[in-house]
Structure 1
Amino acid sequence: MSDITWEEPFCGEGNNCFRLGTDADGNGYVAVVGQEDSPITDSLSALRTLILDIKAGKADHLL
């Protein structure tokens, strides 16, 4: 697996914490804090859209 650069954890209500990361190949990653060794991966564009929609309240039930 490529080296992943992780951002600071994002924690929603109820301690639902996850981290976003990227690698040099332009892939994006999402992982639960403490489980960064098994992240969900997709294109950076797809994950950016997902996170922006969550933050906009379109999918707040995911947090």
Structure 2
Amino acid sequence: MNDKTIPVVELEAKDLPAYCPNPAMPLWSSHPRVFLDFDHDGNAKCPYCGTQYRLKPGTVLAHH
């Protein structure tokens, strides 16, 4: 896959904590579940499949 074919999944606060594979992914493309760490710009990338995740504009991350 190249960067043009890697899907981008937009998430809202209600979708957190986020993990991959996400519930919309087909069973055949499964890999071990990994929870995602978002950077300060609201982006994360799955280390297994390369799926890009992005927080929708205005989404606020809760701090623990």
Task: Please report the TM-score for the alignment, with normalisation by the length of structure 2.
Answer: 0.29
The normalised TM-score by structure 1 is 0.30
Looking at secondary structure, tell me which structure has more helix per residue. 1
Return the structure number with greater strand share.
1
